[in-house]
Amino acid sequence: MPRLLVTPLSNLAEALDNHAPSHLVSLLSPEHMITTPQGYQIEAHLKLGMNDVADPAAGLAPPGPHHVEQLLAFSRDWDAHAPLVIHCWAGISRSMASAFIILCDRLGPDREIEIARAMRQRAPHAAPNRLLVAYADAALGREGRMTAAVNAMGPPLIVEQGVPTAFPLVGL
């Protein structure tokens, strides 16, 4: 079944072993970026160096529109025959935002609320990075619907680290 798998960095090796993904997205601060895992082609590993901040003026290396453009281009090249694994440090914010963005792109407009509700149900800990979502909302021409959907998710379950969570591309 075509699916996205979101995981924290601490569970990445297990996710790669158990799910045999064809593609991998790493969203880590530039100084903590990992190398491409053994056995994976460099072209199948997107490395997005950014800090987990929701204000573009806060800190170094905030998410930017170019990160969303790279994510969308990479995910559109993924044929979905094998899973795509997305990870950040904790599997809560940057990776959940990326999964939300890919799902909104793949499933089409006017499904943003449905996708956000499914994300909350599957991942009570999800707190998608709002800056990434806002840039994607603009890039995909969603006129604020992606941002509104993430805001409507309500507060997440507060945890130090998320758990691996699968999101199917069909039958959310």
* pLDDT tens-digit series, residues 85-107: 999 999 999 999 999 999 999 99
pLDDT at 160 over 80: yes
Listed in sequence order, the residues at least 6 apart from 40 whose beta carbon sits closer than 8 Å to its beta carbon are 16, 24
Of 46 and 56, more confident: 46
In this predicted structure, what is the pLDDT of residue 56? 87
pLDDT at 73 over 90: yes
The model carries a pTM of 0.97
In this predicted structure, what is the pLDDT of residue 42? 96
pLDDT at 115 over 80: yes
Q: Residue type at 140? A: L
Give the integer Cα–Cα distance in Å for 97 and 139: 14
Give the integer Cα–Cα distance in Å for 163 and 116: 17
Q: Which of 133, 135, 132 is closest to 148 using CA atoms?
A: 133
Q: Are 165 and 8 in contact (CB under 8 A)?
A: no
Q: Are 61 and 69 in contact (CB under 8 A)?
A: no
According to DSSP, the β-strands at 165-168 and 45-49 are unpaired
Which H helix or E strand runs over 105? helix 94-107
Domains along the chain?
3-168 (3.90.190.10)
